Amino acid sequence: MSDILVIGVDGMLGRCWSELLESRGVEHRATMLEDLDIRDRAAMNRFITPGTKWVVNCAAYTLVDAAEENEELANEVNGHAVGRMAEQCKEVGSKLLHYSTDYVFDGTARTPYPTDHPREPVNAYGRSKAIAEELIERSGVEHLLVRSSWLYAPWAKNFVLTIRELAKTRPSLRVVDDQRGRPTDSRKLAEVSLTLAEQGSRGVFHVTDGGECSWFELAALIADIVNPECRVEPCTSDEFPLPAPRPAYSVLDISATERVVGPLIPWEARVRDVLGLLEP
């Protein structure tokens, strides 16, 4: 891949992409929000120009609970702006790599969601991401749409780092045990996405860490690593009501991805690796 435009490098995943490409000596352009607000079509068109082989969109409205009150904004950033991005990519001959979420599904499944399962989001954030998926498909642009879930990294605000800090100072934590999914190391997400793109994969793929767990199980591992004295106790979602409903089961089927890139590393190993990079 050459002549890559990465949008949103001031975010967690965008930083992963920028560092990955730099580490491999791949020339690319990168924009932050102050450079490019994807809601501004004219500005977007100035960046997505003929000769741009790939546009990697890491820009998003990610505040799941706030989206319940700001659904119009979420729809514009996560949905309609992405649709216009797809149209511009189609116009100038660029390929689009875009990220979506497990929250486009309703959470009633009992087995991992395949890539072609019908979209039935239960919250505003999921609905906004579903809009983008539909508009990308409708645009006819050559694309790679990657769904992922429960993202974390050695930086930015995420569940793994939040629990790490809480576990260091609190004697106990209560974490919901009735939501199951797949955590995802954002660094590996960028790496696997790049491999899929380079190997010619197109359409929808799911990329996460291997295995599955509940938020409680994820928190219990983190606490055991950073402070075994901290007790992590399971609770129900009803005990910690949030504005946005979450799907109870949002495990993504990653088998198609693993057929291309090989087995994905279990979440336990990825979490340990991220925590090992941080200062005690």
Just list the catalytic residues. 125
Contact 56, 99 (CB under 8 A): no
DSSP assignment of 237-258, as one string? GGGS--SS---SB--B--HHHH
Closest CA to 29 of 142, 41, 46, 98: 46
Q: Which two tokens stand for residue 220?
A: 């219990």
The H or E element containing residue 213 is: strand 213-214
Closest CA to 124 of 58, 183, 172, 77: 77
Q: Which two tokens stand for residue 209?
A: 């860490």
Alpha-carbon distance of 81 to 84, in angstroms, equals 5
What are the φ and ψ backbone dihedral angles of 206, each rounded to 5 degrees? -105, 130
Alpha-carbon distance of 67 to 89, in angstroms, equals 27
